[in-house]
Structure 1
Amino acid sequence: MALYSIIIPVYKSSDSLKIIVSELSKMQTELGYKFEIIFVNDSPFFLETVNMLGNLRIGNDNVKIVTFRKNQGQHIATLAGINIALGDFIITMDDDLQHPVSELPKLIEGIQTSNAEGVFAIPNYRNRKHSFWRSVASYLLKKSDSIFLEKPKGLILSSYRIMTKDLAQATLNSYNAMPAVSSLMVNASNNLINVKVKHTSREFGETNYTFSKLLSLALNGILYYSSLPLRILGIVGIIGFLGSMLFIISIIFRKLAVGIDFPGYASTVTLISFFGGLNLFAFGIIGEYLLRIIKEQQKPNLKDLIK
């Protein structure tokens, strides 16, 4: 029987955790799944969370608790859970019940009945329960992912997902200082799909993903997982250099053909254009070198390239 490791980053939550464990235990009994539940406590000094996690561990042999020394963020917490997971499949979900436990079988069915290495749950947008500004920021994040990440066309990323053990390991092997788990998955594999699930209103606590944090996440995704900005810089630099050379030729031609009324104009403009173009060309070359340095740092483990 396959073991499913369910990783739940926890930040200042308590009552919702008890409901999650109760529903997962019921699902194990009724549907015959085998779960390993890993809570990663990202709020170590919030006593309600600490006490609740301690209580949940009593009598639940399949519950594991990981506690950080200080707040590290959802993505680091997720990776820490993946690092100790023993399951054949890794599931990640939030701690606020906006990812309904009852929808979990859809994720499991999605990865079992397809050849996919990862499945992202996406809400039925008519039932999506987010604030207006959160929805706007999420839309911008989705658009930046579409432009800058080399992901399968139409794929929508989310934190409610399931992946194979191999893909989870590949994700671990390539994480950086400011990781985004979904982006790491996309970097490791294109064999990813979506399934639609219900999305419920937040019953406990408040979201930590403000408009500014989501925009920051989008910026990190662009800078860490895409070489497109450096490519653009390189192209602009080379085009600028070629343009300045053409301008210099036109100034020289004008000087020789019809003359220029202002003494020193031709030499001044020529020098400014030359060195300006040279700077742009240098920026382009530097961009290409930076791109190669980044690619070298991100080179994959050869074992992770093999399914």
Structure 2
Amino acid sequence: MFDPKLRRFKRYTPTTHLLGGSILTQTLAIIIPCHNEEENVPLFYQAVQRTFAELPDYKPIFWYINDGSVDRTLAEIQQLQLTDPDVHYIDFSRGFGKEAGMYAGLQHAKADLYTIMDADLQDPPAMLKDMLAGIREGYEMVGAARMDRTGEPALRSFFSNMFYKVINKISKTEIVPGARDFRVMTPKYVNAVLSLSERNRFSKGIFGWIGFKSKYLPYENVEREHGQTSWSFSSLFQYSLDGIIDFSDVPLTVVSWLGLTSCVLSILAMLFIVVRALFWGGSVAGWPSMVSILLLIGGLQLFGTGILGKYIGKIYLEIKNRPIYIVNEIK
């Protein structure tokens, strides 16, 4: 956990616990970012408890992260807390996003192992059995990867698949197609994630960047139990752009090549005009073509400026050193 005196994270040492005076158990901290999930909060809790009834060697510790919900999400979490002392929550002062929720949960939870799950039950709790088996085999992280996108709009699925193809070609960090944030992690792995305290977080890239012995388990897509997703097409598109900018400088290289290509073509065009005037005389008025060329060059310049501006904007947000989230209450 974070030590303000040392300005770094101290490694949490795993411990074992005795339940009922006989069974050795390990604690598993379950980080659940929530935004307007009042119907799903108790359903998720019940589903996880059913899974752990078949995992006597593990004890779940719930960490719900209330990310600016405007419904009864927090009230439902507090109701669970009245009957289960292993239910905890972090209530943000406003909505800071899922990335901040995951980071906050990993920062505050203390356990032998950690997992991140969505409250909408799109992350099947039953997979925890195979994930924990992978950890026992020596993996530092065992994650889940969707094999299909049944139930999603076709356009969203298309762009999602294209995103994985593009980013894996232009980035040195491998991002597994269909990978979810749902994964079981050891303290070593979590400490590595927390050591990357950047404000502009793209966890799928962070998980791939830190390395360690990891594997992914395939599964078929599961639709939400209740409610509507807070991820719109525009927000997913922005998230994809953030991922590309955070883990690749190829867009800057592309803009440089576009500028160089435009410059070379312009020189060739001028030479052509001069040669034509010397040998064939005169020139075509052609103001529409001139306007088109100017618009093309101006568009390339604006495109390059826009990409450069995105990188500069990321630097600007980082150097302000604002906190990733602000807590209203922790219990």
TM-score range, shorter chain: 0.7 to 0.9
**2:164 is the counterpart of 1:141:** no
**2:120 is the counterpart of 1:99:** no
2:54 is matched with 30
**2:77 is the counterpart of 1:58:** no
C-alpha distance in structure 1 between counterparts of 2:235 and 2:270, whole Å: 47
The CA deviation at 1:259 is 6.1
Range that drifts further, 61-70 or 246-255 = 246-255
C-alpha distance in structure 1 between counterparts of 2:309 and 2:163, whole Å: 24
What SS does the aligned partner of 2:181 have?
coil
1:188 is matched with 210
1:304 is matched with none
Q: 1:286 to 1:83 in 2, by over 3 A?
A: same
Q: 1:163 to 1:139 in 2, by over 3 A?
A: farther
The CA deviation at 1:3 is 3.5
1:68 is matched with 92
**2:194 is the counterpart of 1:172:** yes
What CA deviation, in whole Å up to 9, does each residue of 1:171-229 have, x standing for no partner? 33435444332122223338543202354332222222233332232233233333222
Q: Which amino acid aligns with 2:243?
A: G
Range that drifts further, 160-169 or 283-292 = 283-292
What SS does the aligned partner of 2:207 have?
helix
The CA deviation at 1:294 is 7.1
1:120 is matched with 143
Q: 1:280 to 1:43 in 2, by over 3 A?
A: closer
1:84 is matched with 108
**2:251 is the counterpart of 1:226:** no
Q: Say which structure is richer in helix.
A: 1
The CA deviation at 1:67 is 0.3
For residues 196-215 of structure 1, what are the structure 2 equivalents within 5 Å? 196-215=218-237
The CA deviation at 1:240 is 2.3
C-alpha distance in structure 2 between counterparts of 1:213 and 1:290, whole Å: 16
Q: Which amino acid aligns with 2:250?
A: L
Q: 1:294 to 1:96 in 2, by over 3 A?
A: closer
Q: Which amino acid aligns with 1:142?
A: N
**Taking CA–CA contacts closer than 8 Å with sequence separation of 6 or more, which of the two structures ends up with the larger relative contact order?**
2
Q: Say which structure is richer in strand.
A: 2
User: Are the aligned partners of 2:33 and 2:118 in contact in 1 as well (CA < 8 Å)?
Assistant: yes
2:134 is matched with 110
2:8 is matched with none
What CA deviation, in whole Å up to 9, does each residue of 1:106-129 have, x standing for no partner? 2222344354x433313453xx65
Q: Which amino acid aligns with 2:141?
A: G
User: Are the aligned partners of 2:122 and 2:222 in contact in 1 as well (CA < 8 Å)?
Assistant: yes
C-alpha distance in structure 2 between counterparts of 1:291 and 1:71, whole Å: 24
TM-score, normalised to structure 2's length?
0.68
The CA deviation at 1:59 is 4.0
User: Are the aligned partners of 2:145 and 2:176 in contact in 1 as well (CA < 8 Å)?
Assistant: no
1:238 is matched with 260
Aligned residues: 284
C-alpha distance in structure 2 between counterparts of 1:164 and 1:175, whole Å: 18
Q: Which amino acid aligns with 2:33?
A: P
Q: 1:118 to 1:235 in 2, by over 3 A?
A: farther
1:305 is matched with none
User: Are the aligned partners of 2:68 and 2:95 in contact in 1 as well (CA < 8 Å)?
Assistant: yes
Q: Which amino acid aligns with 1:4?
A: L
